[in-house]
Amino acid sequence: MIMFFALCLVAKAQLRTDFYQATCPDLLKIVRREVQSAIKTEMRMAASLLRLHFHDCFGCDASLLLDVTDSEKAALPNLNSARGFEVVDRIKSSVESACSGVVSCADILAIAARDSVVLSGGTSWKVLLGRRDGLVANQTGANNGLPSPFETLDVIISKFATVGLDVKDVVSLSGGHTIGLAKCSTFSNRLFNFSETGSPDSTMNQSMLTDLQNLCPLNSDGSNTAPFDRNSADLFDNHYFQNLINGKGLLGSDQILFSSDAAVTTNTKSLVLSYSSNSRLFLSDFADSMVKMGNISPLTGSAGEIRKNCRLVNS
């Protein structure tokens, strides 16, 4: 653990906000323009780009983007759900046109995630840059390391702790679910026979339960989608936490932050209450946690490479 935090401190020292000031001065403008265009075409893309950074950043090396055998795209947390890869391709192409061979795909993901939050009405933060791109994908690592909507709160907290993130990070980053949609397959276990009780999850609001049972009947293929943040699907705000208090969390991993026994002992319930009543506190903590997450084991210096194509290792 001491070695992990030593590596984090080294990485943080090497990443800096002005990394491309001389080599690609228009980088932030280019990424913002492309993200804005993508969100204008499809509002949901903001959440998709934010999620790409999150799912890549239990490593932060753009390995999620690789089209290879045993790709991370095919890992269970990403299969048929991670999206936005074509937008990343467009951003990369525009960046390459301005400054070829300079900017990593990992840094593009980090900037695009920040811009997605800002363009959805959320807060901004200064993105630390200087990551390089990984040479290999780690499907096993993605399967084992990324938190699942079906896991207990203790397991989720443990997975965050493994990469140096604490309980406050768990709750604030979960607040990213204030935008975006989820497939029925990620929450339908709560709707009919929850934990083999023969009944739905008792912590779910009854009106929401009825709506979701109609959207996701027992014989459905699980591909229909519902908003994470009921009644505030596209605005990056603290409404997600207000929903948790009212039993309107969509995923099991959302609602357990407030309603489980572990929510009291781990302090996630008190954090939900704080964020639900203090939007500024949530947005500030979310920004801090995003910077912290972006510092998880980045490749810097001469490690890795700067990919020409985010989907492929350079030949």
Residues with catalytic annotation?
A: 55
Q: Outline where DSSP puts E strands in 81-221.
A: 181-183
The amino acid that residue 236 corresponds to is F
Residues 27 and 101: their CA atoms lie apart, in Å, by 13
Longest Cα separation, the chain: 62
Q: How many CA atoms lie within 13 A of 226 on its CB side?
A: 23
DSSP 73: G
Q: Are 61 and 304 in contact (CB under 8 A)?
A: yes
- The token pair at 192 is 């009919």
Q: Are 35 and 115 in contact (CB under 8 A)?
A: yes
Q: Are 268 and 258 in contact (CB under 8 A)?
A: yes
Could you tell me which residues come within 8 angstroms of residue 140 by beta carbon, excluding any fewer than 6 positions away?
Answer: 70
What CA–CA distances, in Å, run from 230 to 111, 223, 279? 27, 18, 17
Determine how many CB atoms are found less than 10 A away from the CB of residue 93: 12
DSSP 292: H
Task: Give me the residue label for tokens 């280019």.
Answer: 30
Residues 49 and 11: their CA atoms lie apart, in Å, by 23
